[in-house]
């Protein structure tokens, strides 16, 4: 491979290569013998957004959305999202504590830029969402792994976390419902981590990209935003990609202290100037405008989670260690084989595309992630028939 005469950033050279293209590459070798490819790799909403939202996006594209907008987002969307967060968590979040970003990955990078300098460190439960690890490597911020165990349902342990904190640690990140394991952290666990963050004077960053897919009637995802002093230690991240099925429109949000917003504005002015405006205008309407559709999606995802669990029930050799809002984390039956080899064979021989455990951090050779939310119940019901050919 030819290389230019200039040298690349050492930080970026240390970042892992994006893993999804490698896995997607395997499917070219599948000959279709068991039926069409079942793509359970990247977490993508299995359904397009409702027509009413698509119409709204078209309408906004024809209007004034070509102009720059405010750094922290349009006031209509900040207000609509603040109201949505307030209802969801039984609290009252003012618009001034909300910022809109070009997606939740950007929300994470911007938050970390505002929180941690190169050489400082952040605690990440492992297995982790690979982009979180890649982002911190890119920024030269150290990652302190907090290892989670299958026997705990991959829920992190707060005492273990407490033992990892030293003056270089600026934040703990929790992703709940989790990517990759699907684990839904109990509110008491989140409360214990919030207490730890408060005691240590560090930030608890909650990535709640999948919160809209918690089972209907399960109550608030947690109680932290209802604490009067929540903003002193909690920063919450969100994505509109999954719940509104618009990943290509790039929209996310940060809920945090107003003083943090002032620092964040410096970051966001540099990396985005303003978030995408067509999507902001359409979503300001959609938060209430497509609420019934969003609730139907939540119910549909519960059905898919059940179908995923049922698909593995007759397959004794496979062990479903956790099933959550979007993902199942499953131990494969080949202890002598690596997860990458197993994932590659699943794709090339059976046409089932998953992501191998090591993509999500060290020591997960035993597991594969199935993004069951990508496909309907009838497709999930084909899994046992195909997997039984796998020996």
Ligand X SMILES: Cc1ncc(COP(=O)(O)O)c(C=O)c1O
Residues in the site for ligand X, rule: CB under 6 A?
A: 43, 103-105, 129, 175, 179, 207, 209, 239, 241, 247, 252
Closest separation in Å from C-beta 195 to ligand X: 23
Measured from the CB atom, the residue of 69 and 252 that comes closer to ligand X is 252
Closest separation in Å from C-beta 179 to ligand X: 4
Measured from the CB atom, the residue of 253 and 290 that comes closer to ligand X is 253
Measured from the CB atom, the residue of 120 and 207 that comes closer to ligand X is 207
Q: Which residues of 10-47 are buried (b: 16+ CB within 10 A; e: fewer)?
A: eeeeeeeeebeeebeebeeebeeebeeebbbbebbbbe
Residue 178 near residue 154, CB atoms below 8 Å: yes
62 exposure class (CB count in 10 Å sphere: 0-12, 13-18, 19+): exposed
**What beta strand segments (E) does 155-270 contain?**
169-175, 203-207, 234-239, 252-255
Q: 29: which 2 tokens? A: 């070798």
Closest separation in Å from C-beta 178 to ligand X: 8
- Tell whether omega for the bond before 88 is within 30 degrees of 0, i.e. cis: no
Closest separation in Å from C-beta 33 to ligand X: 30
Measured from the CB atom, the residue of 129 and 213 that comes closer to ligand X is 129
Measured from the CB atom, the residue of 173 and 350 that comes closer to ligand X is 173
Of 177, 175, 148, the closest CA to residue 164 belongs to: 148
Residue 154 near residue 129, CB atoms below 8 Å: no
Closest separation in Å from C-beta 180 to ligand X: 8
Closest separation in Å from C-beta 355 to ligand X: 11
Cα 158 from Cα 42, distance rounded (Å): 29
Cα 324 from Cα 179, distance rounded (Å): 9
Q: Which residues are 353's β-sheet partners?
A: 39
Closest separation in Å from C-beta 207 to ligand X: 5
Measured from the CB atom, the residue of 297 and 350 that comes closer to ligand X is 297
Measured from the CB atom, the residue of 189 and 209 that comes closer to ligand X is 209
Closest separation in Å from C-beta 337 to ligand X: 26
Residue 327 near residue 182, CB atoms below 8 Å: yes
Ramachandran region of residue 205, left (φ > 0), alpha (ψ -120 to 50) or beta? beta
Q: Which residues are 260's β-sheet partners?
A: none
Contacting residues for 169 by C-beta, under 8 A, at least 6 apart: 120, 121, 122, 123, 144, 200, 202
Measured from the CB atom, the residue of 254 and 307 that comes closer to ligand X is 254
Tell me the residue number closest to ligand X, measured at CB.
103
């Amino acid at each position: 491979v030819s290389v230019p005469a200039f040298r690349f950033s050492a930080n970026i050279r240390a970042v892992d290569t994006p893993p999804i293209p490698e896995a997607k590459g395997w499917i070219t070798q599948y000959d279709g013998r068991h039926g069409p490819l079942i793509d359970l790799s990247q977490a993508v909403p299995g359904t397009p957004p409702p027509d009413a939202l698509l119409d709204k996006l078209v309408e906004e594209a024809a209007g004034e959305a070509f102009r720059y907008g405010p750094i922290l987002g349009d006031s209509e969307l900040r207000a609509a999202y603040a109201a949505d967060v307030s209802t969801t968590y039984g609290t009252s979040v003012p618009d001034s504590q909300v910022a809109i970003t070009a997606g939740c990955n950007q929300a994470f990078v911007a938050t970390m830029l505002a929180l941690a300098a190169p050489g400082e460190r952040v605690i990440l439960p492992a297995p982790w969402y690979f982009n979180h690890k890649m982002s911190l490597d890119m920024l030269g911020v150290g990652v302190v792994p907090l290892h989670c165990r299958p026997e705990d349902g991959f829920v992190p342990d707060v005492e273990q976390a407490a033992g990892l904190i030293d003056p270089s640690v600026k934040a703990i990140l929790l992703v709940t419902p989790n990517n990759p394991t699907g684990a839904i952290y109990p509110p008491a666990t989140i409360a214990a981590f919030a207490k730890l963050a408060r005691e240590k004077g560090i930030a608890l960053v909650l990535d709640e990209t999948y919160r809209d897919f918690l089972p209907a009637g399960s109550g608030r995802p947690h109680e932290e935003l209802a604490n009067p002093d929540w903003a002193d230690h909690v920063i919450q991240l969100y994505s509109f990609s999954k719940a509104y099925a618009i990943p290509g429109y790039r929209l996310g949000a940060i809920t945090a202290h107003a003083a943090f917003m002032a620092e964040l504005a410096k970051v966001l002015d540099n990396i985005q100037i303003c978030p995408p405006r067509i999507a902001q205008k359409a979503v300001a309407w959609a938060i209430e405008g497509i609420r019934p559709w969003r609730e139907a999606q939540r119910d549909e995802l519960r059905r898919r989670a059940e179908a995923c669990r049922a698909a593995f029930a007759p397959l004794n050799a496979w062990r479903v260690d956790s099933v959550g809002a979007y993902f199942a984390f499953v131990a494969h039956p080949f202890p002598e084989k690596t997860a990458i080899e197993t994932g590659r064979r699943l794709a090339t021989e059976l046409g089932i595309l998953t992501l191998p455990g090591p993509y999500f951090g060290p020591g997960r050779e035993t597991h594969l992630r199935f993004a069951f939310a990508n496909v309907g119940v009838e497709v999930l019901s084909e899994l046992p028939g195909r997997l039984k050919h796998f020996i």
